[in-house]
Structure 1
Amino acid sequence: MTRIQSPKGLYILGTGTDVGKTYITALWLKRLREAGHDVAYYKAAVSGALNISESDAGYVKQVAELSQEDETLLSYIFDEAVSPHLASRHENQCIDRTVVNTNFYKVVTDYEYTTVEGSGGIICPLYVTDTELYMLEDVVKDLQLPTIVVATAALGTINSTVLTIHYLQSKGITVKGIIVNQYTGNSMEEDNCVMIERLSGLPVLDRVRPGETSLHMDVEAMLNCYEDIINPHA
């Protein structure tokens, strides 16, 4: 493949587990690919899957119809459906920060827009020892990517979403906006969207109803969420 001169990246994370982050990531990449853009996917670690095709990465590849090779989609995969730090401990495997960074930069050399998916919420341990603490936020900061936060429309989402945004910003991480998933359009859910925007000062970029097969966002608005990737080893 041709080496991309000015690759761009974006990190999609959730307010927690089971908010539909993988589903939204798949729809995001699907929309951009269908619009003719050169897109790729990457995830540092996946738990609860026997192989890549059955993992979050495999789901995204299938839905978005990516041509990317399976082995470039993620760096670590674990059978047990627990936090990556616990899964890696049980399987006696180190999640190496250098490997994650290196694998990411290998992907971005071949694609114009690379989207990275997180694991769980932002406060997610990836690898923990008595002397080392490698967190999901470290991945975002190492890769120097802006973020989009995926939240549910349900009761309680104001708290979890605004706290997630404030935490990200306190760590110097840019947040471009929020995508609200599992939205049915009732008055409480719409008020949740309004309050999230008011309390965070950031836009709700899209409201996605259950079972939808496409996002509603304008493609140019999606592309504007990406920022140039700065590879310190280039």
Structure 2
Amino acid sequence: MGKALFITGTGTDIGKTYVTALIVKKLRDAGLNAGYYKAALSGAIPDENGRLQAGDALYVNKIANIGEKQENLVSYVYEEAVSPHLAAKINQHPIDFGRVAADFTRAKEKYDYLTMEGSGGIICPLRWDDTMHVGLDDLVKKLNLGVLIVADAGLGTINSTALTAEHLRARDIPIRGIILNHYIPGDIMQEDNARMITAMTGIAITAFVKKDDTDLNIDIAALKNLYE
């Protein structure tokens, strides 16, 4: 059984998938057996045959050169670009968390280092109906995962990152680190953001990712240590 790490963002469109791809690529470039998994993906685009293409998962698959089939990368794929719980409701196809747990375990058995990407922020609802109320944080707890937070380096990140860290701690979910995306070296505000995030959360910034980076600036041993 391999080790695993969960990647969450402080919100939507902060580059979580981009950073996740760099993480998996770094591991694979080092010769490690690294894979990717996502429970639910919304906003998929149909191909010419009408088959939904799991964009985020396929992007990581390509950048990290995993060579995995789409059905092994993500369990639930929805076309509507909305929260998974709403997409599931629209399609009358709710998430079966037994299936998710089985798919996750299968991926973890196949790969030594499995990176699981979330949907949006940590309290994103995955299923919210008459049967059950389940958020992303509930799934992370169920799978017993530690979390790496991906945040934008710009304006507003102190608040969103500190609140994400506070919620994870309230749920007793281990925080493995914080990566700042869209980082501009020498930018006085962004450098202060990094300092303030560490001061307010007690968590050192794990890595900085600049625009168009093709490699994650972190020692491979340090990256491996994020996985448990």
Q: TM exceeds 0.5?
A: yes
Q: Which residue of 2 aligns with 1:199?
A: 200
Cα distance between partner residues in 2 of 1:80 and 1:73: 19
In structure 1, list runs of 5 or more residues that go unmatched: 1-5, 228-234
Query: 1:120 aligns to what SS in structure 2?
Result: strand
Count of aligned positions: 222
The residue matched to 1:36 in structure 2 has which SS? coil
**Runs of 4+ that moved beyond 6 A:** none
- In the other structure, the counterpart of 1:3 is none
Q: Distance in 1 between matches of 2:57 and 2:140?
A: 18
- Fraction of identical pairs, as percent: 47
> What per-residue deviation string (whole Å, max 9, x for no partner) do you get for residues 106-161 of structure 1?
11111111110000001100011134101101111111011100000111100000
Normalising by structure 1, what TM-score? 0.92
- Any conservation in 1 of the 2:84–2:126 contact (CA below 8 Å)? yes
Structure 2: 5+ residue runs without aligned partners? 46-50
Contact preservation (8 Å) 1:53, 1:59: no
Question: In structure 2, what is the equivalent of residue 101 of structure 1?
Answer: 101
Q: Give the counterpart of 1:14 among 9, 16, 28.
A: 9
Q: Would you say the 8 A contact 1:27–1:213 is kept in 2?
A: yes
- Contact persistence 1:52–1:70 (CA under 8 A): no
**Paired letter, 2:214:** T
Q: Which residue of 1 aligns with 2:33?
A: 38
Q: Determine whether 1:85 maps to 2:85.
A: yes
Cα shift at 1:53 = 4.4
Would you say the 8 A contact 2:52–2:78 is kept in 1? no
Q: Secondary structure at the match of 1:123?
A: coil
Q: Deviation at 1:197?
A: 0.6
TM-score using structure 2 length? 0.95
1:182 to 2:182 alignment: yes
Residue range with higher mean Cα deviation, 60-69 or 157-166: 60-69
1:69: how far off?
Answer: 2.5
Aligned-residue offset at 1:71:
1.3
Residue identity matched to 1:69: K
User: Partner of 2:104: helix, strand, or coil?
Assistant: helix
Alignment partner, residue 173 of structure 1? 173
The answer to whether residue 146 in structure 2 is matched with residue 151 in structure 1 is no
Contact 1:47 1:83 in 2 (8 A): yes
What is the distance in 2 between the residues matched to 1:94 and 1:19? 26
The Cα of 1:176 is off from its aligned counterpart by 1.1
SS at match of 2:4: strand
Q: What residue is the counterpart of 2:115 in the other structure?
A: 115
User: What's the secondary structure of 2:120's corresponding residue?
Assistant: coil
Within the candidate set 20, 23, 29, 2:24 is matched to: 29
Query: What one-letter code is carried by the residue in structure 2 that aligns with 1:10?
Result: L
What is the alpha-carbon distance in structure 1 between the residues aligned to residue 188 and residue 173 of structure 2? 32
Distance (whole Å) between structure 1 residues aligned to residue 52 and residue 107 of structure 2: 16
User: Partner of 1:231 in structure 2?
Assistant: none
Alpha-carbon separation, structure 1, partners of 2:98 and 2:135: 13
Counterpart position of 2:68 = 68
* Coordinate RMSD, CA, aligned: 1.1
